[in-house]
A and B are shown apart, each in its own frame.
Chain A
Amino acid sequence: SAVISQKPSRDICQRGTSLTIQCQVDSQVTMMFWYRQQPGQSLTLIATANQGSEATYESGFVIDKFPISRPNLTFSTLTVSNMSPEDSSIYLCSVVETSFNEQFFGPGTRLTVL
């Protein structure tokens, strides 16, 4: 199974600043996703990170607010831009390993915006 690490594990940020979250996988994976889990809520898909092209965003999420990079098959970043307290959440990287037909989740990044 894929092993996923995220950096940072948590951060406390000021309103108006930006934070970039890194996701590293120990093997090449076909699909990488970014999710948000707000306090007391379920997981909401933000976007699919596409290798070598622009990410595919879900309804309600835009590139200017959540720019995503995926330079190769094992790494992706999500930036939360111009943060507000409403962005306080856990951000999760997730991957699909086609051979296992299963989706794996990273440990998450707990973001608090003051």
Chain B
Amino acid sequence: AQSVSQHNHHVILSEAASLELGCNYSYGGTVNLFWYVQYPGQHLQLLLKYFSGDPLVKGIKGFEAEFIKSKFSFNLRKPSVQWSDTAEYFCAVNERRDDKIIFGKGTRLHILP
């Protein structure tokens, strides 16, 4: 069965630190990949997505993610985090032949001011 693994459950960083959140998926076929963010008390929002083309994807708020097919990975990065990036981040995968999206367990990011 398809699954999504996020390596870190809870990450604490200081402002201006660099961020990388790991995500690996198990499905070997063609997939679409997503990162969602949930700020405290708010809805889930799409941060960025990869469907095809350039494996380095730019998203909102300075986030980017790189799809490495050989590693089944889609890690999220930001060179310099801000206090407002405090949120929970979810990696998600969708098989192209299916409309379901499977989510990872999420990573809670806490930025110290």
- Please list the residues of chain A having a beta carbon within 8 angstroms of any beta carbon in chain B: 30-31, 33, 41-45, 48, 92, 96, 101-103, 105-108
What interface size band does chain B fall in? Answer: 10 to 19
Give the residue name and chain of the A residue nearest to B98 (CB): A48
Q: Count CB-based A-B contacts (< 8 Å).
A: 35
Specify which of B34, B46, B51 lies most central, judged by the most chain A CB atoms within 10 Å of its CB.
B46
Stretch at the interface among B12-20, B62-70, B72-80, B100-108: B100-108
Give the residue name and chain of the B residue nearest to A44 (CB): B103
- State whether A105 touches B43 (Cβ < 8 A): yes
- Select one of B51, B101, B105, B106 contacting A103, CB under 8 A: B101
Contact (A42, B103) CB under 8 Å given A101-B51, A102-B49: yes
Specify which of A43, A105, A107 lies most central, judged by the most chain B CB atoms within 10 Å of its CB.
A43
- State whether B46 touches A43 (Cβ < 8 A): no
How far, in Å, is B103 (CB) from chain A's closest CB?
4
Chain B residue contacts of A103, Cβ below 8 A = 34, 46, 94, 101
Chain B residue contacts of A101, Cβ below 8 A = 32, 49, 51
Give the residue name and chain of the A residue nearest to B44 (CB): A105
- State whether A41 touches B99 (Cβ < 8 A): no
- State whether B43 touches A42 (Cβ < 8 A): no
* Cα–Cα distance between A58 and B100 once the two chains are bound (Å): 10
* Cα–Cα distance between A106 and B42 once the two chains are bound (Å): 10
- State whether A45 touches B43 (Cβ < 8 A): no
- State whether A42 touches B44 (Cβ < 8 A): no
Would you call B90 an interface residue if the criterion is a C-beta within 8 Å of the partner chain's C-beta atoms?
yes
How far, in Å, is B77 (CB) from chain A's closest CB?
21
Chain A residue contacts of B34, Cβ below 8 A = 103
Give the residue name and chain of the B residue nearest to A92 (CB): B44
Contact (A106, B51) CB under 8 Å given A31-B99, A45-B100, A48-B99: no
- State whether B103 touches A33 (Cβ < 8 A): no
- State whether B51 touches A42 (Cβ < 8 A): no
Give the residue name and chain of the B residue nearest to A30 (CB): B99
Chain B residue contacts of A43, Cβ below 8 A = 44, 90, 103
Give the residue name and chain of the B residue nearest to A45 (CB): B100
